[in-house]
């Protein structure tokens, strides 16, 4: 920053802007992927170029190409991470220019989320089956992942490496007494990648497919282009953390919603079930919503009161977000 690097060092850098465009539709978390047209190519995240002459800010550039490419006008946009690892980038390995991708998360309300050309809304948990605890602990964890991870730990070169692997697995998957931490999506994905338990590892040529491995891979979610599933893992972890202290959940809600709809949306992203009575008590206490006076009769039972987001909460609360019970921990 204080002095410009020599320009020839940097000429071979190509910068693009990637977007994780997410919503919640019918209580399911969705993400926009392109190129899932049945061909053998893996789907990928939408991305577009950054125009250094036209775009005053990168966020502006992102909004521009998202609108151009998909017709969607995204509301909430937040920069996620800048990805530049060499191994993510087969072209650069082959001598091409180095590709750097600035990743963003964008949230959009379901109502505004049409189906853009060549794109599709994918259920987020098709990519991360082990992340969805809404109906209890996912079976894939104990039936597939846990034993495979154990093997991976045992395959470590020496006792020290074994301890390190076990430690990582304990933290990421809560195998020891820490319990499952919903935010550690990226740690989990990276461990599975290194352990060769997701398709990407094999495709990247990091390990060979082993006997009996291919049926494991069938259980570990849909593979994406390059490192895009890793980017999605980053985004999901970030969003899960964020809904707790910023009212981002309302970015995916319709203008009016019932408290149960709100709860389902939070559960969809958090990947965990919430205690209904406490949820509404916390939401009420936080002052995040206000009743509109209308009711929704589409629930099948007693009609629910409709609420809307109260934007001025942020003026009153240091960390306005949806607080989520984590279950009583015995210390």
Partner DNA sequence: CCACATATGCTCAAAATAAGTATAAGTGTC
Partner DNA sequence: GACACTTATACTTATTTTGAGCATATGTGG
> Whole-angstrom Cα distance, residue 78 to residue 12?
27
Contact partner at residue 258 from DNA, a second copy, none, CB < 5 to 8 Å by partner kind: DNA
Closest to a second copy by CB, 147 vs 167, is: 167
CB of 225 to a second copy, least distance (A): 7
Which of positions 70-129 make contact with a second copy (CB under 8 A)? 79, 81-82, 84-87, 91-92, 97-102
Helices marked H in the chain — which ranges? 7-10, 58-70, 90-93, 124-127, 139-140, 146-154, 159-173, 185-194, 199-203, 213-217, 228-242, 259-270, 276-286
Decide: 89 and 6 in contact? Cβ < 8 Å.
no
47 binds a second copy (CB under 8 A): yes
The site that binds a second copy (CB under 8 A) totals a number of residues, namely 69
331 binds DNA (CB under 7 A): yes
Decide: 305 and 280 in contact? Cβ < 8 Å.
no
Closest to a second copy by CB, 92 vs 289, is: 92
Q: Which residue from 130, 124, 322 is spatially nearest to 231, judged by alpha carbons?
A: 124
Decide: 292 and 309 in contact? Cβ < 8 Å.
no
Which of positions 222-261 make contact with DNA (CB under 7 A)? 258-260
Closest to a second copy by CB, 101 vs 261, is: 101
Question: What is the x/- site pattern for DNA, positions 285-304, by CB under 7 A?
Answer: x---------x-x-xxxxxx
> Whole-angstrom Cα distance, residue 82 to residue 76?
18
Closest to a second copy by CB, 293 vs 327, is: 327
Question: What is the x/- site pattern for a second copy, positions 266-305, by CB under 8 A?
Answer: -------------------x--------------------
For 121, 130, 233, 323, the CA distances from 137, given in Å and listed in that order, are 25, 8, 19, 21
Contact partner at residue 140 from DNA, a second copy, none, CB < 5 to 8 Å by partner kind: none
Closest to a second copy by CB, 169 vs 306, is: 169
* Token couple for 19: 């977007």
The site that binds DNA (CB under 7 A) totals a number of residues, namely 28
Question: What is the x/- site pattern for DNA, positions 135-174, by CB under 7 A?
Answer: ----------------------------------------
Closest to a second copy by CB, 99 vs 263, is: 99
The number of helix segments (H) and strand segments (E) in the chain equals 13, 8
Coil, helix or strand at residue 62: helix
Contact partner at residue 229 from DNA, a second copy, none, CB < 5 to 8 Å by partner kind: none
What would the DSSP string read from start to end of 239-300? Answer: HHHHTTTS-GGGGTS-SSB-HHHHHHHHHHHHTS---HHHHHHHHHHHT-EEEEEEEE-TTS
Contact positions vs DNA (CB under 7 A) = 258-260, 275-278, 280-282, 285, 295, 297, 299-305, 323, 325-331
């Amino acid at each position: 920053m204080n002095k410009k690097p020599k320009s020839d060092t940097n000429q071979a850098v190509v910068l693009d802007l990637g977007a994780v465009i997410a919503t919640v539709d019918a209580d399911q978390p969705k993400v926009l992927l392109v190129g899932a047209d049945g061909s053998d190519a893996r789907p990928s995240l939408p991305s577009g170029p950054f125009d250094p002459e036209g775009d005053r800010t990168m966020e502006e550039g992102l909004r521009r190409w998202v609108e151009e490419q998909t017709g969607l006008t995204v509301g909430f946009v937040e920069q996620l991470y800048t990805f530049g690892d060499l191994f993510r980038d087969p072209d650069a390995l082959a001598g091409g220019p180095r590709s750097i991708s600035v990743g963003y998360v964008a949230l959009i309300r379901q109502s505004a989320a049409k189906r853009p050309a060549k794109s599709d809304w994918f259920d987020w948990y098709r990519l991360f089956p082990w992340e969805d605890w809404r109906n209890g602990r996912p079976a894939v964890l104990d039936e597939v992942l846990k034993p495979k991870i154990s093997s991976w730990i045992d395959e470590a070169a020496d006792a020290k490496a074994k301890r390190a692997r076990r430690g990582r697995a304990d933290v990421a998957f809560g195998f020891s007494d820490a319990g499952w931490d919903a935010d550690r999506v990226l740690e989990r994905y990276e461990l599975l990648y290194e352990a060769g338990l997701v398709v990407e590892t094999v495709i990247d040529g990091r390990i060979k497919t082993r006997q009996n491995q291919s049926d494991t891979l069938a259980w570990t979610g849909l593979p994406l282009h390059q490192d895009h599933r890793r980017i999605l893992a980053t985004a999901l972890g970030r969003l899960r953390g964020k809904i707790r202290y910023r009212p981002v959940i309302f970015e995916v809600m319709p203008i009016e919603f019932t408290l149960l709809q709100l709860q389902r949306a939070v559960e969809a992203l958090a990947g965990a079930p919430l205690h209904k009575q406490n949820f509404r008590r916390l939401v009420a206490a936080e002052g995040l919503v206000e009743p509109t006076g209308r009711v929704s009769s589409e629930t099948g039972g007693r009609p629910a009161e409709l609420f809307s987001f109260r934007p001025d909460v942020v003026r009153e609360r240091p960390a306005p977000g949806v607080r989520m019970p984590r279950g009583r921990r015995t210390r």
